[in-house]
Amino acid sequence: MMVAPKALRRVINGILLLDKPSGCTSNAALQRAKKIFNARKAGHTGSLDPLASGMLPLCFGEATKVSAFLLDADKTYRVTARLGQRTDTADADGEVIEEVPVPCLQESDIRRVLDSFLGAGEQVPPMYSALKVKGRRLYEMARKGEHIERPARPIVIHSLNLLSFDADRLTCDVRCSKGTYIRSLMEDVAGRLGTLAHVEVLRRTGVGSFGELPMLDFETLERMANEGRQDEALLPVDSPLADWPRVDLDAASVEYLFQGRKVASPATAARGKVRVFGPRGEFVAIAKAEDGGILVPQRMFPALRLELGLPEGK
């Protein structure tokens, strides 16, 4: 019996700011988006908890080469914590394992405690997390009832603002460094308030410089796909690097970069990592600008040249 060939997946390049719904894993969201775009290659930029909704940047094609910059970027969240209860997962998806009374809290007391978390600090990751220890995910151990000591990791809380509170709930906006677990943060906040807590609602509102840009949910994406417009949802590959200096090169200089050679930069004042564009305005490379106006190639994006029908380079 003949087997029908699988439909060829498309080579597409760009970044989607997905509004991930609560209740699904980041990988499930990635696979659903990949199917909508019929994309050959895609990846996400760090997991969101299944409970959490909000911004999940997905990188397609050549954009996977810049995913690390999104993974390392600061994140912003809006979180509502239920006070007086601790769960085994530190969020509402888990089982309540301890309850204590909630003291009568004053707004000034809450703000003082929140302010005490600002700046650099350390945090112990929760057992229910995707971190690996000796090749095993912590959440896999936790599900088997195993508990191991986890070393504290450095984090930075840039802002932690109280939005509202009542007898047993408080809602905050958080801006923090990569690797910060909001579940653990709210447990620690509750501890200093003399009670327990777990995350009831969590929404990521921004990743790096993407905080002001709109997100698209699956319903919108599927409607766009039905109209053949889904690619309009993609941001340029270099959009996470928008605050880096831009250097424009002629065709010959671009070819030298693709050969792994250093070239002279017309932007002699630029230093550090820069975005390099070719003569037709195409993003072609990440380079390091050194003293003397010299560009050293760091990462090349040949597929973006091919989109314009330009030679790939060597």
- DSSP code at position 167: S
Q: Which CATH number fits domain 75-209: 3.30.2350.10, 3.40.50.300, 3.20.20.140, 2.60.120.510?
A: 3.30.2350.10
Task: Answer for the pair 115, 174: CB distance below 8 angstroms, yes or no.
Answer: no
- Identity of the residue numbered 101: P
What is the per-residue pLDDT for 131? 67
Residues 6+ apart with CB under 8 A from 214: 17
What is the architecture, at CATH level 2, of domain 244-306?
Answer: Roll (2.30)
Q: What is the pTM of this model?
A: 0.88
Q: Which residue, among 296, 270, 293, has the nearest Cα to 285 in the 3D structure? A: 296
Q: Check 19, 49, 91, 188 and give the catalytic one.
A: 49
What is the per-residue pLDDT for 47? 84
What is the per-residue pLDDT for 139? 67
CB atoms within 10 A of CB 77: 22
Q: Copy the structure tokens of residue 223.
A: 């409607």
> The sheet that has 272-277: what strands, in order across it?
246-248, 272-277, 283-290, 294-300, 263-264
Active site residue 243: no
Per residue of the chain (314 residues), give pLDDT as tens. 444 445 688 889 999 999 999 999 999 999 999 999 999 999 988 889 899 999 999 999 999 999 988 988 999 999 999 999 999 989 999 999 999 999 999 999 999 999 999 999 999 877 666 666 666 666 666 676 666 777 788 999 999 999 999 999 999 999 999 989 999 999 999 999 999 999 999 999 999 989 878 999 999 999 999 999 999 999 999 999 988 999 999 999 999 999 999 998 887 667 889 999 998 889 999 999 988 789 999 999 987 765 555 555 54
Q: How far apart are CA 286 and CA 140, in angstroms?
A: 38
What is the per-residue pLDDT for 1? 41
How is domain 14-72+213-233 classified at the CATH fold level?
A: Pseudouridine synthase (3.30.2350)
Q: How far apart are CA 237 and CA 57, in angstroms?
A: 12
Q: How far apart are CA 38 and CA 241, in angstroms?
A: 26
Q: How far apart are CA 215 and CA 235, in angstroms?
A: 11
Task: Answer for the pair 168, 190: CB distance below 8 angstroms, yes or no.
Answer: no
* Domain-wise residue ranges, the chain: 14-72+213-233, 75-209, 244-306
Task: Answer for the pair 210, 71: CB distance below 8 angstroms, yes or no.
Answer: no
CB atoms within 10 A of CB 188: 18
The yes-or-no answer to whether 75-209 and 244-306 have a common fold is: no
Task: Answer for the pair 138, 125: CB distance below 8 angstroms, yes or no.
Answer: yes
Q: Which ranges of the chain does DSSP label H, i.e. alpha helix?
A: 26-37, 67-71, 107-115, 138-143, 182-192, 218-226, 251-258, 302-306
